[in-house]
Amino acid sequence: MSANGSNGQNGSNGDGGGRKRRNRKRRNRSTAKATAEFWGDPKTLPEPRDDIRITQDPSAVVRSLGRPPLPGQEQASEAYFAAVYARAVGLASALAAAGDLIEPEELLEG
């Protein structure tokens, strides 16, 4: 018999593992319910648009505003901003393809 009174015959090693598993199952159920409540009713969502296009120049709009107001750092900051915009377009494109809003082949174009 172990120090906590469990002899290990019930499949437990005396650490309350069975209880932890039950609590985890209850927690998962409540999390699933909370997730469903958060997202709401999918029937109320608008129809997806069919005119989604992937831009070839992610920083065009921002560039049209002029150089960043960072004296002495304009060129470096423009390069970093362009990298961030390109990454954002890449991630948005991947999400659009995963959500069947665009064909995956469109990601290879350009």
Q: What is the per-residue pLDDT across 45-57, written as a single tens digit (0 to 9) for each?
A: 788 777 888 888 9
Output the pTM of the full model: 0.54
Residue 17 domain boundaries:
1-45
Tokens encoding 32: 């699933």
Average pLDDT (12-36) is 57
In the prediction, which pLDDT does 62 show? 87
Q: Indicate whether 26 and 53 sit together in one domain.
A: no
In the prediction, which pLDDT does 91 show? 94
The residue among 105, 56, 108 whose CA lies nearest residue 82 is 56
Q: Indicate whether 56 and 34 sit together in one domain.
A: no
Q: Indicate whether 1 and 21 sit together in one domain.
A: yes
In the prediction, which pLDDT does 47 show? 83
Within 10 angstroms of residue 3's Cβ, the number of other Cβ atoms is 6
Q: Indicate whether 61 and 102 sit together in one domain.
A: yes
What is the SS3 assignment for 66?
coil
Q: Quick one: 106 exposed, middle or buried, by C-beta within 10 A (0-12, 13-18, 19+)?
A: middle
What is the SS3 assignment for 98?
helix
